[in-house]
Amino acid sequence: MNKELQICDCTLRDGGYYTKWDFSETLVKAYLNAMNDIPAITHIEIGYRSMPEKEYFGEYFYCPEYVLKMAKTLCPSKQIAIMLNEKDTKVEELDELLVPFRDYIDLVRIAVAPVNLERASNFGKEIKERGFKVAFNIMYMSQWAGDMEFIKKLNQLEGVVDYIYMVDSFGGVYPDDVRTAIQNVKKEVSIPIGFHGHNNLELGLANTLVAIENGCEIVDATITGMGRGAGNLKMELLLTCLFSKGLIQKINYTKLNAIVATFEKLQVQYKWGTNMPYMISGAYSLPQKDVMSWISKNRYTTESIINALQNQKDNLKDNYQVPVLKSNVKADEVVIIGGGHNAELHAHALKILCLKRPDIILIHAGTRYVELFNNLPNKQFYCLLGAEGYKLQKSLDKLKLDNISVLLEPSPRQMGTILPEGIIPITYELGAITFIDQYPDSLLTIALQLSIDLEAKTVALFGFDGYDLHTEEQMIEVSKENQLLIDTYSKNVNPLISLTPSFYQGFETISIYSKL
């Protein structure tokens, strides 16, 4: 290998965004053994060193001493790196975070926003004085071209840092951008340059090869491309390409293939890699943190996420403006219809009840079962979020809309709104969410707030089945949100009841059939 080319594997640090930085000891030991047997990999970024946070982050977000010692023991020939978030770390915390671990940490990489360069320079000096090599991972590379003043300030890093990393945070740079950025940086500093790319546009390999060809001395990749959002360049792909070009001399493909296979099993579970939303966020340099959060909740459709990104690109708070609901209708009793199987199973009973009691108002927390309750005399509201309008459009020609209103959360709506043309005249938004500060983008939040606005005396849930212990993780998160909404409403507004069986707690269940 060209002696000036170094390769850093940052799988555990960047991949931790998917696992909350928890990895099994068996996996980590297998990973470290594989890294140790690949000479071309010179650095291993094991994770973050962080002060305590108020939410849960795992082992490799904190990298206790035993973790660092294990990494150094299993990879004695490698440089062990950790990452600090400059904006979240104080100088006075460095003695606790770094000094006791000099025997294990070779390189401290610091995530730096360009606007914080001067402050970070002083921070880097403090780390350097404590005996560590320092790399500045300077973010938002796809926006550098419009900020040449920032490039000119890089000379203040001479003698402070050992590497200046160009970080394609949004996965939005092209090979020409990489080439130009390197040229501009080299005009200002003699510090070795590194490149860390993301793979939103599937240009991770092309950009990294251009970076190497133009003088970058260190580049990053991860096993199977595991990393935040769309992920990174695949280490196995980079090594194969460099080997074919004669830039590295040896790859232990047996070890490499085995660890790739292990991480491919994780990929089935966590589903990193690019897709349409990540491609759009990369193309327009939009934060993929939001995309990753939206996708992981399994609540929003791809169309809804794309709509939200389009609104961000166009700097729109929302793509539809609708009037605030000002209804003279008041309700003695409201039934909120959820998307659980019990709503379908017991729909006939609710229809009989509605025919007997046309004063009951139906609120649909979603569009799944709107066709089941069509042509009833009761006033009905359809609560919509994001791309729920697409689902409603499929039923539109079957619905009688004379007694229907469509309701959105208050603007601005983070996900934007998708509305079929036929319902725009009957679409309104809530004025405000008053009973809770969390989860405005929840269909149940909209439904419960509407119940308040209608001054409902009795609010019954129908088809809110809840989730058992065997439910997949994303649905458990939704279940937790719903339970908090139920608890908050019941405590602060009015006790809820359920007309169908439910795993949710905190309310009385009264059988729908007892009312017939």
Q: Cβ distance 184 to 148 under 8 Å?
A: yes
The pLDDT value given to residue 110: 96
pLDDT at 2 over 50: no
Question: How far is residue 113's CA from residue 128's CA, in Å, rounded to a whole number?
Answer: 19
pLDDT at 152 over 60: yes
The per-residue pLDDT for range 433-470, each reduced to its tens digit, is: 999 998 888 999 999 999 999 999 999 999 999 875 44
pLDDT at 365 over 50: yes
Q: Is the peptide bond before 412 cis (omega within 30 degrees of 0)?
A: yes
Q: What angle do CA 85, 91, 94 make, to 5 degrees?
A: 75
Helical spans, DSSP H, in 284-338: 288-297, 302-313
Task: Answer with the residue of higher pLDDT: 286 or 239.
Answer: 239
pLDDT band at 326 (very low <50, low <70, confident <90, very high): confident
Question: How far is residue 5's CA from residue 192's CA, in Å, rounded to a whole number?
Answer: 10
Average pLDDT over all residues of the chain? 90
Question: How far is residue 338's CA from residue 99's CA, in Å, rounded to a whole number?
Answer: 55
pLDDT band at 379 (very low <50, low <70, confident <90, very high): very high
Predicted structure pTM score = 0.73
The pLDDT value given to residue 469: 45
pLDDT at 160 over 80: yes
Comparing 1-15, 100-114, 196-210, 237-251, which segment has the lowest mean pLDDT?
Answer: 1-15
The pLDDT value given to residue 471: 46
Beta-carbon contacts of 155 under 8 Å, excluding residues fewer than 6 positions away, are: 188, 189
pLDDT at 387 over 70: no
Q: Cβ distance 148 to 120 under 8 Å?
A: no
Q: Cβ distance 204 to 167 under 8 Å?
A: no
Could you give the percent of the chain with pLDDT greater than 70?
A: 95
pLDDT band at 1 (very low <50, low <70, confident <90, very high): very low
pLDDT band at 318 (very low <50, low <70, confident <90, very high): low
Q: Cβ distance 419 to 461 under 8 Å?
A: no
Task: Answer with the residue of higher pLDDT: 48 or 476.
Answer: 48
Task: Answer with the residue of higher pLDDT: 398 or 44.
Answer: 44
Give the strand pairing for 133-138 and 218-221. Answer: unpaired
pLDDT at 201 over 50: yes
Residue 459 to residues 20, 454, 479, 483, 493, Cα–Cα distance (Å): 38, 11, 19, 15, 10
| Tokens encoding 354 | 């509605």
Q: Looking at 141-181, which runs of residues are DSSP E strands?
A: 163-167
Q: Cβ distance 467 to 342 under 8 Å?
A: no
The pLDDT value given to residue 474: 56
Helical spans, DSSP H, in 164-273: 175-188, 204-213, 235-244, 253-270
The pLDDT value given to residue 470: 44
Edge-first strand listing for the sheet containing 404-408: 427-429, 404-408, 380-383, 361-365, 333-337, 458-462, 497-498, 508-509
Beta-carbon contacts of 229 under 8 Å, excluding residues fewer than 6 positions away, are: 17, 171, 198, 200, 272, 278, 281, 288, 289, 291, 292
Helix (H) or strand (E) holding 340: none
CB atoms within 10 A of CB 298: 12
* Residue 239: HSE in the Cβ half-sphere, 13 Å Cα cutoff: 25
Helix (H) or strand (E) holding 137: strand 133-138
The pLDDT value given to residue 343: 96
Least Cα distance to 327 among 426, 440, 236 occurs for 426
pLDDT at 401 over 60: yes
